[in-house]
Chains A and B, each alone.
Chain A
Amino acid sequence: MARTPDLLPGTLDLLILRTLQKDALHGWAVSERIQQISQDVLEINQGSLYPALHRLEHQGWIEAEWKVSELGRRAKYYHLTASGRRQLAVEAREWERMANAIGRVMKLA
């Protein structure tokens, strides 16, 4: 298994928010989704995932709800709130700017 590169600080929150943009997901699904889409490049450290979810919940960007899961037992599903959407937009823009800037430096410097 490839070593998981260290995430840039703050990017975990961004990834979580983005993953939750469409559907409500439980914690395992969030990490699974990120891993799949990144084609196993990004593997979320479970020890940081749940603290991050709780932090975002406290900031009011996501909300939790207990629902019956695909296993038939109940699980905690998180979904974006209105302020979470705004936060996602802000962070996504910021990320874009950052990525473009780094890209330009890598090409031209």
Chain B
Amino acid sequence: MTLNDLKLRVRALLRPNRIEQELDEELAFHIEREAGKLIDEGMTPAEARERARARFGSTALAADRCRDERGTAVVDNTIRDVQYALRTFAKAPLAAFTIVITVAIGLGVVAVVFTVFNTLLFRVDQVPDIGEMYAVERTQTANGDPSPMTRPMFDAMRADTHVFTDVYATVPEIDLHVNGRRMAITLVTGKFFQAVRVNPVIGRALMPADDARSGGNAVMVLSYKGWDRHFNRDPNVLGRTVLVNGTPFEVIGVTAAGFRGLEVGGPDAWAPLSQLGQFRPADRGREDAVGVEIVGRVRPGVSKNNARAQLAAWDSNQSADTVDRRTTTLDLLPRRGTVPQRERLEAVAVFAPLFVAFGLILLIGCANVANLLLARGVARQREIGIRLSLGASRRRIVRQLMTESVLLALAAAAGGYLISRLALVGAVYWALPMMPVDIGDINVSVPATDWRVAVFLVAAAVAATGFFALMPALHATAIDPVRTLRGELVKDARPGRARNALIGVQVFASALLLICAAIFLRSALAAARFDPGLRTADTVLIDIDSEPKRAAMIQAVKSDATISAYAAVRPQFLAPLRVAFADVGAGKTPVVFKAVSGSYFDVLGIPIVRGRAFMPWERDHHPVTIVSESVARALWPNGSGVGETFRLEPDSGVQRPGGVLTINPDAAADDGLVQARMVTVVGVVRDVAGFRITDVKEAGVFLPTGLDVAKTSIVARVQGDPSLARQALLDRLTKVDPNMGMIITMRTVARLETFFLQIAFWVSLMLGGLALLLTVSGLFSVLSYLVEQRTREIGVRMALGASAHAVTRLMLAQTTRPVMAGLIAGTGLAVALATAVLATPAGALISQIVHVTDPVAYLTSLGVIVAACLLAAWIPAARAAKIDPMRTLRQE
């Protein structure tokens, strides 16, 4: 591009009117001069002018080509197209509005999923030069899990290697219970804030001195989230304290909102790792054996491979004397505060179906819009025909139509953004409190948007445009200008096949989503009717976390007016149980066992079928036992069980949790092994079905214990509303021990069974309803349009003797095939998916909870779709039947 060229282009851009005027004048002069010549040759002026014009050909086309040479044509044309498009929208605002809203809804729901996905996978933490941050990990070996790294290893690594500029060790996700609310604490060594290069916005960072192994400070730095959740953003928070198992920890700083400490969720606060014993009394005295994560900032100029080699060399020197460590090597994994690479696949696997489900709405919306545009394209054939015959190229007109669509898509992207924000904020602020209150205290904030969401929205909008706009545009321009000018609609341009395909796609998507909704609803209803075999209406679970406070806690529970009965249970009710072997002389039978006090069965309403409950004097080591009916049947097929004896032998195994969800992740398996001994059965209790999603199963063998025994938890029956009672208990008991564990009502545990099914139901119902609504409105508008377009034909038919009934049937028949095809495809895919789910390893468990092949669900949803489609088709079809043949024929 020369300077001259640039000058001319800039002039053309700045003074478009002047340039246009000059171009017109130049071409007009040519024709006039030509005419002048012809007059000189003896033609009449009128004849000469016509001849000159004919010889020149289309001035519009020549002008257009001149504009192309000018190089500003793209800009010119775009401005022209935009102006033209805006005029078109102004003429039919309702159509434009419908298109924008429809696509915006589709984009909005997809953007919701993408925002969450983005937060988990792509939104790196706000840490300077985050590319330098790596976690040191032991790689998996053939021998099983690698041994964890420890604080002494970390100290040695820091002293011996020079791979990192700064490096820290961390123990993340320690749950602290502060006044009944969960506070997530991450313990870090002193150089944490130095390594991530983040400074608190209020107060100061943790210093190496705070983390001194002896004489460290009981201090913590709050994250913005922790400051918000636990201190209501108190500006004078510095100096306030958090009680941690009896020791006050002083707040010395608050970090900025975006910083998550290189974790996905981010903690509420960071505290020195040397204070581990305060946070986990169980680890007091064995701090050096606790596993830590090591994260560091690799020195600039040191490559990842080089760093890894140095660390591996150091590691093999370290472990030269210990044989088992030779099998492990160290690896460096990028640490960005996003889901680690190893788990990305799982995250994608979780999100892919969501994207598909939410994307279906977008698809249906686009199909609707495409149908609308197809119809409008036919309506605009005359306009397009005129433009074609005036010399506009087909490319220009397609471009013009595409410009209109891109404008609509951009407006829809903006609308989609608004909808996604509303939906996310609504979900967090409205739906979260609906979760059972005991577990609703989850660290969730509204996922933030960033440039990736913006790029995604625009890209999705453009892709959607390609789908919904290009095809109608091509259809609309594939016409014969001469015939359209005459008012004849060309038969080929009636895009019946495309329209049918679009209706089919819509019905297909609605069917899929509604079948899902129906399956979830039916499953939720079935789950609500499911009887766990336990008293859930008025019972609560109370954990005792710190043993020194046990006596005071028990006293508080005993004297509490709302508690009418209580019992001891060990391990915690929601924890996995240990396996032991029962031996009656005919081989060992594996059984799961737990220890309970005498009133346990009464509190939970588990009937004692034969024999009796434990007596108050029957405590730990007392050789008595109570077994479930199924265990009694297995051990003594012919006897009643009561009075029999068997030998109970411990096993190190733990009953593997098979549930989808763990309510109380703190509840580790009790490590107290039962001593091998002979026990006498004093009672047999009814089998308890337990809970399926959370996989809380009742034991088969019960041993006696009491509340004053360490590690037992409380099961209590309360009076009045259990949620209110729970809150009151929480208030009273946190006064005794501010760091006490969870109090969960049994009703919450039971509700969890249906809670997730209900969420799935509402989400799929919302999507399915949206899908059906869009489909029905699309069907309605398409049929209405068809009736209008075929008014003349229908009039002729009726004049020739067709009955109103026959006309209605004719119009209905238009939609039967695409609707049926969509229904069959949707149902087929649903069945295929269900079969695929059943074939997975988790299939058996899932099918117990979610009835994926429930025929009632399938039939109901299909019935709803058919009814809705019939209704949508009926109104225009009935209108067609009312056409007065005389009047339509007279109009011709």
Contact = CB atoms under 8 A, between A and B. Distances in A.
A98 B258 CA distance: 70
Nearest to B1: A58
Given A60-B2, A71-B32, A50 B62 contact: yes
B30 A54 contact: no
Interface residues of B, number: 30
Interface in B1-23: 2-5, 8-9, 22
Interface stretch (B67-75, B373-381, B685-693, B716-724): B67-75
A75 B70 contact: no
A5 interface: no
B29 A47 contact: no
Contact of A76 (B3, B22, B68): B22
A47 to B, nearest CB: 5
B69 A51 contact: yes
B65 A47 contact: yes
A76 to B, nearest CB: 5
Interface in A29-50: 29, 32, 45-48, 50
A97 to B, nearest CB: 26
B429 interface: no
Secondary structure call for the A interface: helix
B26 A27 contact: yes
B30 A28 contact: yes
Given A58-B70, A71-B33, A76 B26 contact: yes
Contacts of B9: 58
A57 B8 contact: yes
Interface in B53-90: 55-58, 61-63, 65-66, 68-71
A78 B70 CA distance: 16
B49 to A, nearest CB: 14
Contacts of A26: 26, 29-30, 33
Interface string B614-648: 00000000000000000000000000000000000
A104 interface: no
A22 interface: no
A27 B30 contact: yes
Nearest to A30: B30
A100 interface: no
B62 A47 contact: yes
A58 B69 contact: yes
Interface range on chain A (Cβ under 8 Å from partner): 20 to 34
A71 B5 contact: no
Given A46-B56, A75-B29, A58 B65 contact: no
A69 interface: yes
Nearest to B70: A54
Contacts of A58: 4-5, 8-9, 69-71
B27 interface: yes
A59 interface: yes
A55 interface: yes
Interface string A65-87: 01001010111100000000000
Given A50-B62, A51-B66, A54-B66, A60 B4 contact: yes
B2 A59 contact: yes
A46 B57 contact: yes
A2 B25 CA distance: 30
Contacts of B33: 26, 28-29, 69, 71, 75
Nearest to B30: A28
Contact of B27 (A48, A50, A57, A59): A50
Nearest to B2: A60
Interface in B283-329: none
A69 B34 CA distance: 13
A74 B22 CA distance: 11
B727 to A, nearest CB: 79
A47 B27 contact: no
Nearest to B6: A58
Contact of A47 (B3, B4, B61, B68): B61
A47 B58 contact: yes
30 contacts: A26-B29, A26-B30, A26-B33, A27-B29, A27-B30, A28-B29, A28-B30, A28-B33, A28-B34, A32-B37, A46-B62, A47-B57, A50-B26, A51-B65, A51-B66, A51-B68, A51-B69, A55-B69, A58-B9, A58-B70, A59-B4, A59-B5, A60-B2, A66-B22, A73-B29, A73-B32, A75-B33, A76-B22, A76-B25, A76-B29
5 closest A-B pairs (Cβ-Cβ)? A60-B4, A51-B65, A28-B33, A54-B69, A55-B69
Interface of A: 26-29, 32, 45-48, 50-52, 54-55, 57-60, 66, 69, 71, 73-76
Interface of B: 2-5, 8-9, 22, 25-27, 29-30, 32-34, 36-37, 55-58, 61-63, 65-66, 68-71
